[in-house]
Structure 1
């Protein structure tokens, strides 16, 4: 018997088209009912219930109960990041969904990836913070840089976000940009700040984060491009 984690079992669970579609629908961090996920997966409610039970048992989803109702969400940011990485792999090998629509361009510009900002603007924010040395790559991964706490609280980020127990900042491979965007508590906090300030809003029943013209101007000012500074790993 081979040693190490059993990736085949998890890959088989995610690999079913119905289950993959249901998990992708949860990438915006929402909790959805079995009925809603059945529609997303293109399957009947009994079939969806069976899929959801298997995903919960495997630790990929978690259940939240409100009275008699049950809602399902991704079990954590690590699951979302694994799905995003699979999207990168599928995109790079031409494995694309048949259905396309007018939101495709918006999805590539700015979307939620679990609880943080992804797409072109998510990558831009990451690059800007790296170039400003607010965050930097250390021996054990991404971390706050010298002066990062001052810069980020200056943007209006609550200091409590920067004191999270978990690694404050992590990077996640973006499926459309094929580059890194910011995740972890810092990524979550910055997306919350963007939404709270009214720079952008969530599009209902979508992962799209839609910026207003004024919001985009404010975002560009907060996260300017600094192409003369190396942000490579």
Structure 2
């Protein structure tokens, strides 16, 4: 028996088409019911229950209880990062589940990746923050600089200290094949865009839809 992490088990959990569809649905960052996830996977309730048990035991999802109701979400941002990277690999190799549809340009422009901004606008934000020295570091290892921290404070962007996720983290964007910003800062910036009314999320999709004025304000605020 080989020593080290068992990547085969994780790959098997993700590799089942039904479970893959469930995990993709949870990339929206929302907690969903077993019924909703069964619909996403196209399976019956009993089959969905089996899938969810395996994903929970494998540490890929977490269960939340509210009264008699159970909701499921991705376990953490590490799981989301792996899924986003796999989506990028699949797209690069031409492994697409559906043909390009009318929503595809919107998804590529701006979308939610678990809890932060992805797509062309997310990549542009990441590149701009690095170019201005708000984010510093080498390669994909980035941190918030002291001037950057002061700038975020002036904008009223507060970083949660309750989360165990890193303050800043690079995440490989599946559509652009370049990095966008994850971590607590990435989440805080997306929350700021929503709270300012610059953007909204259409129901049932990962799209982040900016208004014309909203995208202009977003670009001006973060100088991208």
Cα distance per residue 1:184-220 (max 9 Å; x no partner): 0000100100000000001110000000111011012
Residue 151 (structure 2) pairs with residue 142 (structure 1): no
Other-structure match for 1:179: 178
- Which segments of 5 or more consecutive residues in structure 1 lack a partner in the other structure? 226-233
Other-structure match for 1:16: 16
C-alpha contact (below 8 Å) 2:90/2:96 kept by paired residues = yes
Other-structure match for 1:214: 213
Deviation at 1:99, TM superposition (A): 4.6
C-alpha contact (below 8 Å) 1:35/1:45 kept by paired residues = yes
Give the direction of change, closer, same or farther, for the CA distance of 1:57–1:170 in structure 2 (3 Å limit). same
Deviation at 1:43, TM superposition (A): 1.1
Other-structure match for 2:42: 42
3-state SS in 2 of match to 1:72 = strand
Other-structure match for 1:189: 188
CA distance in 1, matches of 2:157, 2:8: 40
CA distance in 2, matches of 1:207, 1:141: 26
C-alpha contact (below 8 Å) 1:38/1:44 kept by paired residues = yes
C-alpha contact (below 8 Å) 1:107/1:207 kept by paired residues = yes
Between 1:42-51 and 1:77-86, the stretch displaced more is 42-51
Normalising to structure 1: TM-score of the pair? 0.91
Other-structure match for 1:157: 157
C-alpha contact (below 8 Å) 1:116/1:182 kept by paired residues = yes
C-alpha contact (below 8 Å) 1:142/1:169 kept by paired residues = yes
Other-structure match for 2:202: 203
Give the direction of change, closer, same or farther, for the CA distance of 1:28–1:143 in structure 2 (3 Å limit). same
Give the direction of change, closer, same or farther, for the CA distance of 1:162–1:221 in structure 2 (3 Å limit). farther
CA distance in 1, matches of 2:106, 2:139: 35
3-state SS in 2 of match to 1:73 = strand
- Which segments of 5 or more consecutive residues in structure 2 lack a partner in the other structure? none
C-alpha contact (below 8 Å) 2:140/2:170 kept by paired residues = no
CA distance in 2, matches of 1:69, 1:111: 28
Deviation at 1:156, TM superposition (A): 2.3
C-alpha contact (below 8 Å) 1:143/1:167 kept by paired residues = no
Other-structure match for 2:96: 96
Number of residue equivalences: 224
Deviation at 1:170, TM superposition (A): 0.4
3-state SS in 1 of match to 2:223 = coil
Deviation at 1:98, TM superposition (A): 2.1
Other-structure match for 1:68: 68
CA distance in 2, matches of 1:204, 1:99: 21
CA distance in 2, matches of 1:149, 1:165: 19
